[in-house]
Amino acid sequence: MTRRPQEDLDRLLDAFGADPARWPPDRRAAALERLAASAEAHEAVAEAARLDGLLDLAPAPAVGEDRVERVVAAALARTRTPAPRRNGLPAWAAWPALPRFGWLGGAALAGLALGLLTVPPAVPPGAPAVSAEAGLDVAGLLLSPYPVERLVR
């Protein structure tokens, strides 16, 4: 969906006012061309200029130095500071945090040992040889929970 050039000019006037010096340079040329070619654009700029004049009449708010300091202090208090590093490691990898995750490493090692030490049942003597010609269901062997047991049945 493309916008009309007048909609672009209206958005520009709403955001930056009637003074072309305040318009973004990359959009200024197209807006000035639209302004030169359209009476509707002239009316929109005149209305924006009236609004700018009314806004200029309003007094600027007085902001004391103490208020600025309070706002800055509150903003700094809400920012998160990174945790200190120990021996060049992030805080989560430092020694006191390792016992929290030690069980995870232990469980991984136990699973690896169990997988490596579990011996599949031996094929009894005289069992038929397994070959591709025997109509072996390879996908079933790979996806079943105990593929070696299916070979000996």
Question: What's the confidence (pLDDT) of residue 2?
Answer: 47
Question: What's the confidence (pLDDT) of residue 121?
Answer: 58
pLDDT < 70 regions, the chain: 1-3, 82-101, 119-153
Cα–Cα distance between 82 and 90 in angstroms, integer?
A: 9
Question: What's the confidence (pLDDT) of residue 80?
Answer: 73
Supply 135's token pair: 């109509």
Question: What's the confidence (pLDDT) of residue 43?
Answer: 92
Question: What's the confidence (pLDDT) of residue 47?
Answer: 93
Dihedrals phi, psi of 86, to nearest 5 degrees: -115, 125
Q: Backbone dihedral region of 117: left (phi > 0), alpha (psi from -120 to 50 degrees) or beta?
A: alpha
Cα–Cα distance between 67 and 62 in angstroms, integer?
A: 10
Cα–Cα distance between 118 and 116 in angstroms, integer?
A: 6
